[in-house]
Structure 1
Amino acid sequence: MADISKDSTVSIHPTDSSLRERKAVTQTSTELDIKQHEPDDSKQNKSRYPYVTTAKISSSMRSYIGPLLLTILSFQLRFHDIGKNNHVVWDEAHFGKFGSYYITHEFYHDVHPPLGKMLIALSEYLAGFDGHFNFDSNEAYPEEVNYIFMRQFNAMFGALCVPVTLFTTRSMGFNWLTSYLVTLMVTLEHSYIVLSKFILLDSILLFFTLTTFACMVKLYTLKKRQLTKQWSLWMLLTGLSVGCVCSVKWVGLFITIIVGLFTIMELFTHHYDKTLPRVKYYKHWMIRIIDLIIIPFLIYMFCFKIHFTLLYKSGTGDSATNTLFQVNLEGTTIENGPRDVMYGSEVTIRSHGLSPNLLHSHVQLYPDGSRQRQITGYGHSDSNNVWEFQFAREDTRSLTDNLKTPITDGAEIRLVHNNTRANLHSHEILSHVSKGNFEVSGYSTEFNGDVYDDWILEIVDQMDSGNPDFHKEDQNIVHPVSTFFRLRHKVLGCYLASTGLAYPSWGFQQAEIVCKKSWSHRDKATWWNVEDHWNDQLPIEEDYVPPKSKFWTDFILINFAMASSNSALVPDADKFDPLASKPWEWPTLHRGLRLCSWSRDVYKYYLLGSPFNTWLSTLSLFLFVFIISKIAYQWRRQHLNLQEDQLWRLGIQGIFPFLAWITHFFPFVMMGRVTYVHHYLPALYFAILTFGFVLDYSIGRANPFIKYPIYLALFVGCTYIYVLFAPICQGLHGDVAKYLRLEWLPTWNIVI
């Protein structure tokens, strides 16, 4: 078996004949020396000229000058003409506005965690922005808004992906030509460049995704030096990167899975290492639990702590939070009402479940099932949120004779919808979205109904006033804001609950409300509280101060609300979204996305991956499967005897990037939410790394007369395709008909 050159990747080749097979197998462990490629200047003969040598020039070029030039090029391409389009472009309308809320301190709600938007807010603060521009789509930026600095701040994250890529590929052990080619592909990737030019989350997410993988690869290079100070530092940096990427978008969990698999493999090898003392083995576990689980979670939680601290005023996102959080915001719309809820009181009732919305109904009917009035959860202020407490069906008392009868623990009640006068009702008809629950509907009238309209109220928690001088309230009576209760159906025994799911378009994407079997009184999906309370027969106690909300409760509920909002982002079958695309269209470049107005007088940007990068990396995914299958077959037939170091190198160079592509691509295939081209950006990076492995494996040890021309062609091709398609990321201007040459596929709508 031939030796491996130090510039190659894992070199795995079968023996040439069965007669030498056994000997080759026994020699494999010594012949397959897979040390990471590093220039070895110590073996060079000293030059007779002490000032400079060819080896030193080559080493300096690879280690310092090359990375510096690529980084400068990356900044140049992303900063070039960054302010030419002076209008709000694409999702700048969302994220620029979210950033402005931190400046004005108004609470908002979004489907993503807050770190990326807080970084955008930081750029706005540094730009001197006062928060009073609305970032309406396609609106021109006024002169006083320094949008160029905000975009440059975002572009910095995109530009820094380039040195991170070079660091990663060198640490993976690719030969220097492959490392520089992969880095050049990231530098010249059109989709990376164009999304770096605007106030978006994508470059921030990509940067932290790359740093997380880079830290993991660096830990691989320190495998022989575990528990040293350097290894401990990189383990900590890995945890910090995991915490940051998950705090920008939840898709950061995809790269976290890869780090988790890497960690499991390390611990698995330590478990079977008989030379490792058990104390050190448990120390390995402890360090990883602290650095890779506890620290990322603390970072994620700390981002929300800052988020809540900065957003202390009532704003557009109030509806996504619980009553206690809202009532403590400055300028809250929740008014101080009578403290004891009575029969005859009019109320709004908010859930503590996955969708902390208000109990809601309207005149529309369910399209199937009972075909009675819909009961939903709705967060915003609306007269259809108002309900009235009344006596149960078999209760002979009347409201006119019992105006001041309080609602107590265990009371039998009916809830009558204020506008439709229908009763909150449930029956043995299955729910419409979730499985295993009963439908809740609006049924009958105030005077005509049955016992299926009756509910039993169970108080589960009471909170004292935030005013220590306020009198002690009766713990057996329902009070607005501070009393948490459950509503158990009198006949079915199930509990009124919010599932966290949303109805389709016929239910206006509002939250699903059901009657569910619940065996624990701690099931927050079944918890409710009175938010607003009106009763003309009762006085308002002005000295009442609501209790403070608990950070842990707010943290849990806002994440539940984010999950619910994410699940509601489903394609509308009745509407055509020209910007949406299917996941299969991303690695094939079947279609792109117009990011702004396509009028003649503005700079236009088209989101499309580089055909060179995307098509080659997509092809490499199939070639990778073939290569791994070949290696597995040879190993199975005992033509190869892979040692532990070789397996690790094979994993870090090929298997982990391929798995990272899978974790960043296939979840979008399986999930039902609407998807866009920009969702493929992290997956594309790992496809490019997989291409690097396939290239290194295929020609890393080839004859120089074959190897170098191929690399030269790839470098030239990557650069040529960038130059050819540069207008789509640097700005199409004037008559777009002159760019007709760029429409290689009929589905690309660059011109038409």
Structure 2
Amino acid sequence: MSAPSPQNSVRQRGGKENKKRGTTPQPSDSSLMNGNASEKVESIKQGAKKAVTNEWEYKVALAVITVLAFLTRFWGISHPNQVVFDEVHFGKFASYYLQRTYFFDVHPPFGKLLFAFAGWLVGYDGAFLFENIGDSYITNKVPYVAYRSMPALMGSLTVCTTYWIMWESGYSLPACIVAASLVLFDNAHIGQTRLILLDATLVLFMATSILCYIRFYKLRHDPFSRKWWKWLLLTGISMSCVISTKYVGAFTFFSIGVPVMIDLWELLDVDRKRGALSLPEFGKHLAARVIGLIVVPFLMYLFWFQVHFAILNRSGPGDDFMSPEFQETLADNIMTQQAVGIDYFDSIAMRHKETKVYLHSHPDRYPLRYDDGRISSQGQQVTGYPHNDTNNLWQIVPSVAMEGYDHPVKNGDVVRFRHLVTDTWLLTHDVASPYYPTNQEFTAVPTEEANGDRFNDTCFEIQIAGGKPDQQFKTMSSHFKLIHFPTRVAMWTHTTPLPDWAYKQAEINGNKNLQQSSNIWYVEEIPGLAEDSPRLQKEEKKVKNMPFMKKYLELQRAMFYHNNALTSSHPYASFPIQWPFLLRGVSFWTENDTRQQIYFLGNPVGWWFASSILAVFAGILGADQLSLRRGVDALDQRTRSRLYDSTGFFFLLWAAHYIPFFIMGRQLFLHHYLPAHLASALVAGAIVEFIFNIEPSDISNLAITDGKTGSRQQQQKRGRPTRERIAGQSLLATWAAAGVIVAVLVWGFWFFAPLTYGKPGLSVEQVLARKWLNYDLHFAK
């Protein structure tokens, strides 16, 4: 962030007016330093001694905070000895890695690989699959403490990194302690980092990205040095770890990308104070940042997917999400083993790849009018049905006459489908579908119509995804699009069920967007095939290879699609507007016998304080800009620079990790706010210092006098104790404010600790005492 050009301050203007009135101007720090040489040497020695003392104070505070971070994260980590909340997902994924079994998840692999690494370190074989919340780790002999220790370690380091960010940004010790304490004593950060979940990894590397960028920015006057390159590359590596854990890591790229672009824009200025850069020199700066912050992170991001594919080389539950070509790269793949060639006049069951519904029909008809007043054809309903049923069977018939049987169906063939139970023929025509007026209705018509004037409307072309010309059409392995031959629409379905008149089954319609990935179907089986059919005789197939980038791009498409499809309701989902005010949490685990529960909830005191400070910061900026418009400059250059550049950067960090959630359509939970909460803690620490602490530079500009005139040396003797007294009072006020804030944070953490650690069990009165807002706690009655 870039600070505005400093104006003349109020204190500077006051000095000019005093001069006009003939009064004696008061000494500044610079004038006081113009004494004899011995005074200068003594002042330098005192300054160096004070700097060393301050360094040790910061280090001692960091050591204390580190110990407390490890204690709060690791205490009682073995409780409960059961599967808790989303451990059913990420523990299961670690087991799949250890078994080398292919699975599918909407998140990138880095965080899950760390859990698998923890299991591998302790020699676990991944036999337990974390099927249900409440399953016993002890009974199933799972090294769950080792798994949980990984995020607990990261959560502890996150607290240290938060402190270090403030320290490196030049804030006072009380400000560093306040910012770190907001994370240290936060129940949400503690609760989320004691379980087998990804957020500890996400938040830690988000924090290290900020720290490394600050270290890099501080070396801006020493470009291309070894340290400059080190911190630039570490920034990129950290950001890569963020986005390699969850895709919301893109918010961290934006947070750092904005100040980087501002910095490059200033480097391009021909009138910059440190001398203009030539275009070749600017090109070097630009290339270095592109390499360090884009190229290196992207290559690391790809590397984790390469590891992912290298480990998961066996068929597993993730096969169904991938193409047949991808599945052929996995050993023991059921699809390739069970694939059967399809001949004309076979009876087949077709299934949609993404929704898993069967193409289905029954005698019921579409209503005459829909709810919006549109009129249907009143034809026989063609729907999607999730269960195996005889009404799912269709006979595949050639569109041209063929003699005899045993003619294989091939890619590109134009075919027809006869519904066996109702003896009708699949058809689509230029009539709007029930839910999509732009899409065509699918129906089924009697034989006399199908073989008469409506013959062409019953013709469909089979297009096998990635298939070669004349490639044989097979069950399971041939994922295909069914394209209506005359109107060129693709058979398609979606997740919104039809009304009661269709028994809430899925709508089947004709999609004009032929390229849409959700147009894909496959044939699950040929029920009537004789057991001794030569088509059932299988020859052993070798595992095939597929280029890495092709596998990566296919997986990326599937991940983005299914991530966006997570729109179903959840009892503990919440909206972003609720998060800063901590209106409700999430129930993670309960045990009825002991009345113990783990309820994911932040420290309300800390969250409300941090959220209010965000509003205070916005108010300060607004007041400062309004004052400048009226010619009043109440801030000195250093204070304004820190307020806009450093605190403004933290505020940008918060906004970038919070505001984008408002435009997301997927399920959202309170834990999505944790990165933004860390950023709000940084803003809070900075604003506490801004409000209570007076900088030495501010003191030097104060008109300090006892009302008497005297020699320069007498003014120095009278002025120094006054400045020291003001500085001491300011520091004391900052420490007092920090002490009160930390004390209240500790109380809030301790009060809600039973809900964070899952013990001890609380009585009804104790539960109700913690039900401050809309917290849907268990055992409240």
* TM-score interval, smaller chain: 0.7 to 0.9
Contact 2:236 2:293 in 1 (8 A): yes
List runs of 5+ in structure 1 lacking aligned partners.
1-8, 25-30, 34-40, 464-474
Q: Report what 2:774 is aligned to.
A: 747
Q: Report what 2:128 is aligned to.
A: 133
Q: Report what 1:117 is aligned to.
A: 112
**CA–CA distance in structure 2, aligned partners of residues 108 and 125 of structure 1:** 18
Contact 2:216 2:232 in 1 (8 A): yes
**CA–CA distance in structure 2, aligned partners of residues 323 and 510 of structure 1:** 28
Q: Report what 2:583 is aligned to.
A: 590
Offset at residue 74 of structure 1 (A): 0.4
Q: Report what 2:619 is aligned to.
A: 626
The structure 2 residue matched to 1:59, chosen from 55, 60, 85, is 55
Residue identity in the other structure for 1:452: D
Say yes or no: does 1:476 pair with 2:470. Answer: yes
**CA–CA distance in structure 1, aligned partners of residues 644 and 420 of structure 2:** 64
SS in 1 for 2:247: coil
Give deviations 1:44-94, integer Å, cap 9, x for gaps: 6658xxxx96764442121x2221221111011111111131111111122
Q: Report what 2:598 is aligned to.
A: 605
Moved more, 240-249 or 450-459: 450-459
Residue identity in the other structure for 1:361: L
* CA RMSD between the two structures: 4.3
Residue identity in the other structure for 2:89: H
Residue identity in the other structure for 1:92: E
Q: Where do residues 14-163 of structure 1 align in structure 2 (5 Å cutoff)?
A: 15-16=9-10, 46=45, 56-62=52-58, 64-135=59-130, 136-142=132-138, 144-163=141-160
Offset at residue 118 of structure 1 (A): 1.3
Say yes or no: does 1:676 pair with 2:669. Answer: yes
Distance 1:453 1:657, change over 3 A: farther
SS in 1 for 2:221: helix
**CA–CA distance in structure 2, aligned partners of residues 505 and 659 of structure 1:** 45
Say yes or no: does 1:259 pair with 2:253. Answer: no
Moved more, 537-546 or 689-698: 537-546
Offset at residue 210 of structure 1 (A): 1.2
Contact 1:324 1:546 in 2 (8 A): no
List runs of 5+ in structure 2 lacking aligned partners.
19-27, 31-39, 696-728
Say yes or no: does 1:658 pair with 2:651. Answer: yes
Offset at residue 646 of structure 1 (A): 7.9
Residue identity in the other structure for 2:207: L
Offset at residue 388 of structure 1 (A): 4.4
Give deviations 1:504-531, integer Å, cap 9, x for gaps: 69799999976444588xx766677778
Say yes or no: does 1:717 pair with 2:744. Answer: yes
Distance 1:719 1:171, change over 3 A: same
Distance 1:602 1:15, change over 3 A: same
Say yes or no: does 1:693 pair with 2:686. Answer: yes
Q: Report what 1:453 is aligned to.
A: 458
**CA–CA distance in structure 2, aligned partners of residues 359 and 305 of structure 1:** 33
Offset at residue 171 of structure 1 (A): 2.3
Q: Where do residues 352-391 of structure 1 align in structure 2 (5 Å cutoff)?
A: 360-362=358-360, 373=381, 388-391=395-398
Q: Report what 2:726 is aligned to.
A: none
**Identity, % of aligned pairs?**
26
Distance 1:388 1:210, change over 3 A: farther
Q: TM-score, normalised by structure 1?
A: 0.80
Q: Report what 2:700 is aligned to.
A: none
Offset at residue 350 of structure 1 (A): 8.2
Residue identity in the other structure for 2:574: S
Contact 2:147 2:196 in 1 (8 A): yes
**CA–CA distance in structure 1, aligned partners of residues 246 and 237 of structure 2:** 15
**CA–CA distance in structure 2, aligned partners of residues 271 and 182 of structure 1:** 35
Q: Report what 1:472 is aligned to.
A: none
The structure 1 residue matched to 2:609, chosen from 609, 616, 627, is 616
Q: Report what 2:764 is aligned to.
A: 737
**CA–CA distance in structure 2, aligned partners of residues 510 and 232 of structure 1:** 59
Distance 1:491 1:442, change over 3 A: same
**CA–CA distance in structure 1, aligned partners of residues 762 and 51 of structure 2:** 51
Q: Report what 1:305 is aligned to.
A: 306
Distance 1:710 1:487, change over 3 A: same
Give deviations 1:100-158, integer Å, cap 9, x for gaps: 11111222112211111111111122233221223221112125322122211221011
Offset at residue 340 of structure 1 (A): 6.3
Offset at residue 245 of structure 1 (A): 0.9
Q: Where do residues 477-556 of structure 1 align in structure 2 (5 Å cutoff)?
A: 477-480=471-474, 487-496=482-491, 502-503=495-496, 515-517=510-512, 539=535, 542=539, 547-556=544-553
Residue identity in the other structure for 1:67: L
**CA–CA distance in structure 2, aligned partners of residues 698 and 381 of structure 1:** 68
Moved more, 630-639 or 592-601: 630-639
Residue identity in the other structure for 1:656: F
**CA–CA distance in structure 1, aligned partners of residues 506 and 553 of structure 2:** 18
Say yes or no: does 1:579 pair with 2:587. Answer: no
Residue identity in the other structure for 1:270: L
The structure 1 residue matched to 2:563, chosen from 561, 566, 572, is 566
**CA–CA distance in structure 2, aligned partners of residues 20 and 582 of structure 1:** 51
Contact 1:14 1:639 in 2 (8 A): no
Q: How many residues align?
A: 697
Q: Report what 1:292 is aligned to.
A: 293
Say yes or no: does 1:413 pair with 2:415. Answer: yes
Q: Report what 1:209 is aligned to.
A: 206
Moved more, 444-453 or 275-284: 444-453
Distance 1:262 1:516, change over 3 A: farther
Give deviations 1:345-377, integer Å, cap 9, x for gaps: 4567788xxx76767324599996858646569
Give deviations 1:525-564, integer Å, cap 9, x for gaps: 6677778779778756736657533432322222222222
The structure 2 residue matched to 1:667, chosen from 651, 654, 660, is 660
Distance 1:461 1:116, change over 3 A: closer
Distance 1:418 1:684, change over 3 A: farther
**CA–CA distance in structure 1, aligned partners of residues 568 and 477 of structure 2:** 38
**CA–CA distance in structure 2, aligned partners of residues 17 and 70 of structure 1:** 39
**CA–CA distance in structure 2, aligned partners of residues 276 and 699 of structure 1:** 40
Q: Report what 2:721 is aligned to.
A: none
**CA–CA distance in structure 1, aligned partners of residues 201 and 414 of structure 2:** 54
**CA–CA distance in structure 1, aligned partners of residues 466 and 521 of structure 2:** 10
Contact 1:92 1:200 in 2 (8 A): yes
Q: Report what 2:187 is aligned to.
A: 190
Distance 1:497 1:714, change over 3 A: same
**CA–CA distance in structure 2, aligned partners of residues 265 and 256 of structure 1:** 14
